[in-house]
Homo-oligomer: A and B are copies of this chain.
């Protein structure tokens, strides 16, 4: 099979191979799956990652992450692509001759992402009024016993200990419970219960009602706001 040889050479040369064709797929590993005959797009990268994409959907239907060992062999007159990792095997059996394209991609650019949860914290430390007027951070990542670590720990305008939990996405009941556990742990340690504030772009209904019950507070804070503040600061830094 000439096309199979083309794939072998692409892998050996460290190129990216894209295969479009009729195949059936089996996966055995953490789970098992079977997918009957159909036309799919298969991508093989130089690091050994394999992706199988159906004609719709964001997620691959089957895959193997980087580092898997890729083999091509013939079985009953059909070509089988086998991608194996520890305890996990993905087999793609081709029916008929697929279209194979090989690309030599050079990509040295670095990905820059803004406004992660870490950057939200930076913004809050830079502009504590984002949380509340008069809030003063005392520490970041303060330990809260065995409950874990608090995002930002400080005192409010009245000198009351205040815990701020940052989320870059909508706050869920799970987040509220986590904050409650922090407060419980800190209450033991400090002798009095600190205020608890969740700062997130939004909160689910149940999260809000749970906060009411648990006497916790919500403050709207979007990653974008944080990003803009950091960007401004960056501009200032460059200026001086």
- Contacts from A to B (Cβ < 8 Å): 16, 18, 20, 24, 30-41, 43, 45-47, 49, 51, 53-58, 61, 63-66, 99, 101, 103, 105-116, 146, 168-169, 173, 177, 181, 210, 223-224, 227
From B40, B113, B114, B181, contact of A107 by CB (8 A): B40
A57 touches B46 (CB 8 A): no
**Chain B residue with the shortest CB-CB distance to A34:** B112
B58 touches A49 (CB 8 A): yes
**Chain B residue with the shortest CB-CB distance to A102:** B20
Chain B residues positioned under 8 Å from A31 (CB to CB): 113-116, 168, 223, 227
**Chain B residue with the shortest CB-CB distance to A181:** B177
Q: Pick 26 A–B contacts, CB within 8 A, sort by A.
A: A18-B20, A18-B101, A20-B103, A30-B168, A30-B169, A31-B116, A32-B227, A34-B111, A35-B110, A36-B109, A38-B106, A39-B105, A40-B105, A41-B43, A41-B103, A41-B105, A43-B53, A45-B53, A45-B57, A46-B56, A47-B56, A51-B58, A55-B106, A55-B107, A57-B66, A101-B101
